[in-house]
Amino acid sequence: MKCVFCEDKNTEVIETRVLEDGAAIRRRRRCLKCGKRFTTYERVEAFPVLVIKRDGRRERFDREKLRRGILKSTEKTIVSAEEVEDIVRSIESKIRQEELSEVESKRIGEMVAEKLKKIDKIAYIRFASVFKRFVDLEDLEKELKRL
């Protein structure tokens, strides 16, 4: 594995942990050249899942895209990177367990919104404002009243 800091190819695994759902392995690595540590994940490459977008287009499910979207909603909140990773892992696991070849983006958004609502209301509102396409302040007010 190449070091993410100095790009040297000599690294060693210093800790290996199977994640809770058993679908991935987390490895802590140390670069033998610069001494810095970083984390890698190993996952089983499963059959591709297509996401059906609002406009009908289809694209491959991308866990990193999902993670980035959630991170954007949780910026400057109390939600930790570990909690974001748990949400991504949970949603990916649910989709894989159901053995779906296609899933609507709306359904993924609903799953994210449900998880964020339980963790942090501000992150939920930020996510919902994009996901539910709030047009004006009245849309936001309606959602706040539902909370």
Per residue in 122-144, pLDDT (tens digit) is 998 888 888 777 667 777 777 77
C-beta atoms surrounding 89 within 10 Å: 19
- Element (H or E) spanning 47, and its range? none
pLDDT for position 120? 92
Q: Which two tokens stand for residue 140?
A: 């936001």
Q: 17 or 146: whose pLDDT is higher?
A: 17
Q: How confident is the model at residue 1 (pLDDT cuts 50, 70, 90)?
A: very high
Strands 37-43 and 11-18: unpaired
Vertex 50: Cα angle to 44 and 53 (nearest 5): 140
Q: What is the mean pLDDT of the segment spanning 17-23?
A: 81
SS3 assignment, position 83: helix
pLDDT tens-digit readout, 23-57: 789 999 999 999 999 999 888 766 789 999 999 99
Share of residues in the chain with pLDDT > 70 (%): 95
**Count of alpha carbons within 13 Å of 92, Cβ hemisphere only?**
24
pTM (global) more than 0.85? no
Q: What is the mean pLDDT of the segment spanning 61-73?
A: 94
Which sequence spans correspond to the domains of the chain? 1-45, 47-146
Kindly report the average pLDDT of the chain as a whole number: 89
pLDDT for position 139? 72
Maximum alpha-carbon separation in the chain: 57
pLDDT for position 3? 95
The CA–CA distances, whole Å, from 81 to 98, 113, 119, 142 equal 26, 17, 13, 29
pLDDT for position 130? 81
Contacts of 112 (CB under 8 A, 6+ apart): 66, 69, 70, 87, 91, 127, 131
Q: In whole angstroms, what is the distance from residue 39 CA to residue 27 CA?
A: 6
Contacts of 102 (CB under 8 A, 6+ apart): 49, 50, 51, 52, 58
